């Protein structure tokens, strides 16, 4: 690499290696096993220094590693400027350079609440006790990094446990994921407590700045065995107008609890189970009821509009008549426990009501809701979906674009070149693009909508670039998907493109008929029937429900519910293959689909619109299946386990 000189006014900046003996060293810092200072050796590469420092840690981000070089003035004594050079450019290492390897950071998800009972922790030669409360775990891709124990507790001396020396309102525990087992003995079932999550988020936002392994972008993985406990108390709000900083709380003798938040929200909890949240800005109040209903009301603004119109009075001259009408702006929403969201969008005018009882409300965002005399309702949301509801609870969902991908696309993980709108039958179709550095693997697949089987492309990779070729001998409406795999087996869809092959008939709209949730067993039978119906449409043999696989699917479902998110792994990192193997079930191959959604019908439709899940459902070699479904926290959760005997 050629060396250049940077001239600033009369100062000549040169590399720092032209210094004294102390600079004949190279510093290696960050995510390496033995960070420190090492003797400079000519012609030694940056990778060699990293190896000399014990190699990278598991949390290292090598693609983001860089070299820091100080530039000094012509005297070689004073550092004027530092420059950074990515290691990907293979820079020459000079005396005085520092090689920095960033450490991976994680976003914390506080989304699961468990019952907490009889907590007894030893901390700094004292005993911390919480009789009852709630445990909110901060999950990351590596496991739990923070845990909040919400509940009034006391501190006791080890030598005298009869008298408390201090009290607290919560414990904030920062830990290595392996230490989370120390809390499991005190936690019980998962509960639905939005209030606990609200408190936990407020406490975490304020406390995270005090942690040891924290960066502006997120938390780093602590060292093995790390365990730190922070005790916190909640001050009393000063007043409704100026409650004070941070999370504050006051309990009244009549059972009411008043909580104020740093962002200006205020929450009132009543003895009858009602919860009222007063939000800053346009929303006046949100009320949560014990039966699961949530009603949000926005402030109503009424403006009077004057329309002057000329009215001839039949005689010479004019009389002016003023007509005044009211324009109402109002927003409200109600969430019903079965997951249905009833919304009333922003209304420019009052709802139009016909004499026969027909009513229509239109929103500014293009949404509308029509109510008919026979009890039917038709809602068109801003995404173009048309949802028809009948009085008996049935629903019909008509999608705006037939067989489009139902979830978000991670376009930040890969750049996929646009495909042509159509190709002739037998014509070659090339899928190409470039991957993000974090991607470990890639798969490209295609299928014909609505019923076609999955065709997997042979992917060729050269560095970060990739390419795959397809030929479709059958005319139809093709969907081409690109999926990538990140570390820890995280899989994401990055592209879903439609290509018409030949000149097929028009693809009919995608229409789903929704019925009220029929219960777990009926929902499981529905999925089994849908699986075999899809297999029969392409000539595949039906898969048979197996009691042992049904049991495994139920266990996997319970693990997901305990985790609070859709995952192929349990809290302890176990997957479906582990369950099948340890039970010595007579299956040589097994695979799994997992998902959640508002309805079991849309959940199955989403699986069929994902190439990897569709491939599982339609694979020729499966002989048996196990299914588990449950409705929890307003969502339907499902697991499908396929096996070959």
pLDDT of amino acid 536: 95
582-592 mean pLDDT: 92
* Confidence band of 567 (pLDDT split at 50, 70, 90): confident
Share of the chain above pLDDT 90, in %: 46
For residue 455, which of 435, 479, 439, 476 has the smallest C-alpha distance?
Answer: 479
pLDDT of amino acid 337: 55
For residue 397, which of 538, 597, 536 has the smallest C-alpha distance?
Answer: 597
Q: Is the pLDDT of residue 416 over 50?
A: yes
pLDDT of amino acid 486: 85
Q: How confident is the model over 125-157, as pLDDT tens digits? A: 889 999 999 999 999 988 999 999 999 999 998
pLDDT of amino acid 341: 53
pLDDT of amino acid 497: 93
For residue 100, which of 32, 22, 24 has the smallest C-alpha distance?
Answer: 32
For residue 418, which of 409, 434, 431, 405 has the smallest C-alpha distance?
Answer: 431
Q: Is the pLDDT of residue 422 over 50?
A: yes
Residue 30: exposed, middle, or buried by beta-carbon count in 10 A (0-12, 13-18, 19+)? buried
For residue 231, which of 134, 154, 176, 116 has the smallest C-alpha distance?
Answer: 154
- Residue scoring higher pLDDT (383 or 510): 510
Q: How confident is the model over 446-502, as pLDDT tens digits? A: 999 999 999 999 999 998 999 999 998 899 999 999 999 987 677 889 999 999 999
Give Cα separations from 308 to 146, 196, 304, 348, 576 (angstroms).
65, 55, 13, 20, 73
Per DSSP, the three-state class of 585 is: coil
Q: Is the pLDDT of residue 217 over 60?
A: yes
Write down the domain spans for the chain.
25-101, 108-235, 359-393, 414-501, 517-644
pLDDT of amino acid 310: 31
pLDDT of amino acid 327: 42
Q: Is the pLDDT of residue 333 over 80?
A: no
288-301 mean pLDDT: 71
Architecture of domain 414-501: Sandwich (2.60)
390-404 mean pLDDT: 78
Q: Is the pLDDT of residue 239 over 70?
A: yes
Class in CATH terms, 517-644: alpha beta
Global pTM reads: 0.48
Which helix (H) or strand (E) segment holds residue 492: the answer is strand 490-501
pLDDT of amino acid 339: 54
The answer to whether domain 25-101 and domain 517-644 are alike in fold is no
pLDDT of amino acid 77: 60
- Residue scoring higher pLDDT (280 or 456): 456
DSSP 60: B
What angle do the packed helices 611-618 and 600-608 form, to 10 degrees? 100
Residue 587 CB neighbours (<10 A): 22
371-384 mean pLDDT: 81
Highest mean pLDDT among 50-59, 298-307, 357-366, 502-511: 50-59
34 vs 622: CA distance, rounded Å: 50
Share of the chain above pLDDT 70, in %: 83
For residue 436, which of 468, 467, 411, 409 has the smallest C-alpha distance?
Answer: 411
Give Cα separations from 434 to 1, 62, 87, 421, 444 (angstroms).
28, 19, 20, 21, 13
pLDDT of amino acid 157: 86
376 vs 372: CA distance, rounded Å: 5
548-573 mean pLDDT: 84
- Residue scoring higher pLDDT (127 or 158): 127
Per DSSP, the three-state class of 289 is: coil
pLDDT of amino acid 582: 85
pLDDT of amino acid 305: 35
Mean predicted lDDT score pLDDT of the chain:
82
CA R_g for the chain: 31
Q: Is the pLDDT of residue 22 over 70?
A: no
For residue 19, which of 66, 67, 74, 68 has the smallest C-alpha distance?
Answer: 74
Within 528-623, strands assigned E span 544-545, 589-597
The answer to whether 142 touches 490, Cβ cutoff 8 Å, is no
* Confidence band of 23 (pLDDT split at 50, 70, 90): low
The answer to whether 266 touches 281, Cβ cutoff 8 Å, is no
Lowest mean pLDDT among 110-114, 357-361, 583-587: 357-361
514-518 mean pLDDT: 88
Q: How confident is the model over 218-235, as pLDDT tens digits? A: 899 998 999 999 998 888
307 vs 296: CA distance, rounded Å: 33
pLDDT of amino acid 200: 94
230-242 mean pLDDT: 83
Q: Kindly report the three-state secondary structure assignment for every residue of 218-246.
A: EEECCCCCCEEEEEECCECCCCCCCCCCC
pLDDT of amino acid 299: 47
The answer to whether 179 touches 145, Cβ cutoff 8 Å, is no
Q: Is the pLDDT of residue 117 over 90?
A: yes
Q: Is the pLDDT of residue 350 over 80?
A: no
pLDDT of amino acid 304: 36
Residue showing tokens 């030929």: 471
Lowest mean pLDDT among 147-151, 409-413, 586-590: 409-413
Q: Is the pLDDT of residue 427 over 50?
A: yes
405 vs 97: CA distance, rounded Å: 49
559-571 mean pLDDT: 80
Q: ∠291-554-598 over CA atoms, to 5°?
A: 45
CATH superfamily of 25-101: Outer membrane lipoprotein wza domain like (3.10.560.10)
615-623 mean pLDDT: 95
617 vs 591: CA distance, rounded Å: 10
* Confidence band of 298 (pLDDT split at 50, 70, 90): low
């Amino acid at each position: 690499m050629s060396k250049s000189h940077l001239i600033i006014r009369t100062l000549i900046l040169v590399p720092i290696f032209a210094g004294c003996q102390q600079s004949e060293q190279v510093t290696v810092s960050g995510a390496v096993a033995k960070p420190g200072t090492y003797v400079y050796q000519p012609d030694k590469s940056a990778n060699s220094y990293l190896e000399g420092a014990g190699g990278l840690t598991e949390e290292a981000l090598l693609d983001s590693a860089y070299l820091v070089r100080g530039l000094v003035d012509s005297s070689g004594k004073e550092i004027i400027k530092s420059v950074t050079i990515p290691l990907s450019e293979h820079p020459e290492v000079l005396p005085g350079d520092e090689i920095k390897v960033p450490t991976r950071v994680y976003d914390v998800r506080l989304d699961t609440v468990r019952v907490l009972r009889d907590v007894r922790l030893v901390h700094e030669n004292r005993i911390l006790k919480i009789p009852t409360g709630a445990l909110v775990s901060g999950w990351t891709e590596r496991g739990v990094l923070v845990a909040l124990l919400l509940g009034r507790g006391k501190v006791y001396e080890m030598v005298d446990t009869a008298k408390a020396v201090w009290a607290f309102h919560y414990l904030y525990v920062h830990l290595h994921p392996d230490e989370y087992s120390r809390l499991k003995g005190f936690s019980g079932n998962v509960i639905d407590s939005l209030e606990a999550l609200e408190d936990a988020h407020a406490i975490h936002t304020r406390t995270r700045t005090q942690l040891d392994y924290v960066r502006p972008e997120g938390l780093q993985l602590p060292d093995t065995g790390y365990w730190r406990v922070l005790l916190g108390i909640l001050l009393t709000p000063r007043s409704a107008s100026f409650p004070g900083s941070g999370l504050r709380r006051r309990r009244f003798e009549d059972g009411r609890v008043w909580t104020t938040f740093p962002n200006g929200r205020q929450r009132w909890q009543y003895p009858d189970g009602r919860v009222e949240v007063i939000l800053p800005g346009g929303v006046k109040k949100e009320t949560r009821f014990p039966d699961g209903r949530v009603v949000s009301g926005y402030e109503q603004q009424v403006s009077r509009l004057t329309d002057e119109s000329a009215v001839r009075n039949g005689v010479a001259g004019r009389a002016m008549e003023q007509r005044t009408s009211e324009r109402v702006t109002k927003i409200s929403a109600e969430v019903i426990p079965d997951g249905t969201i009833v919304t009333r969008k922003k209304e420019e005018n009052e709802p139009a009501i016909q004499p026969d009882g027909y009513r229509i409300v239109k929103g500014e965002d293009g949404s509308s809701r029509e109510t008919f005399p026979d009890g039917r309702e038709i809602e068109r949301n801003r995404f173009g979906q048309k949802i028809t509801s009948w009085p008996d609870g049935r629903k019909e969902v008509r999608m705006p674009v037939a067989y489009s991908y139902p979830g978000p696309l991670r376009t930040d993980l890969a750049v996929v070149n646009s495909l042509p709108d159509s190709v002739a039958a037998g014509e070659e179709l090339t899928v190409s693009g470039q991957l993000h550095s974090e991607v470990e693997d890639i798969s490209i697949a295609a299928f014909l909508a609505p019923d076609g089987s999955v065709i997997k492309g042979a992917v060729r990779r050269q560095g970060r670039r990739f390419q795959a070729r397809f030929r479709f001998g059958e005319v139809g409406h093709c969907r081409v998907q690109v999926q990538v795999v990140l570390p820890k087996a995280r899989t994401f869809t990055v592209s879903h493109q439609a290509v018409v092959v030949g000149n097929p008939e028009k693809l009919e709209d995608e229409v789903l008929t929704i019925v009220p949730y029929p219960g777990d067993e009926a929902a499981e039978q529905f999925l089994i029937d849908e699986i075999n119906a899809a297999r029969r449409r392409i000539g595949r043999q039906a898969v048979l429900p197996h009691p042992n696989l049904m049991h495994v699917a139920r266990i996997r479902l319970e693990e997901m519910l305990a985790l609070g998110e859709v995952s192929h792994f349990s809290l302890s990192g176990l997957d479906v293959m582990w369950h099948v193997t340890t039970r010595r079930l007579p299956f040589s191959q097994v695979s799994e689909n997992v998902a959640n959604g508002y309805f079991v019908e849309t959940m199955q439709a989403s699986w069929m619109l994902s190439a990897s899940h569709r491939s599982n459902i339609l694979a020729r070699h499966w002989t048996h299946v196990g299914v588990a479904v449950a409705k929890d926290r307003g969502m339907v959760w499902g697991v499908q386990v396929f096996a070959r005997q």
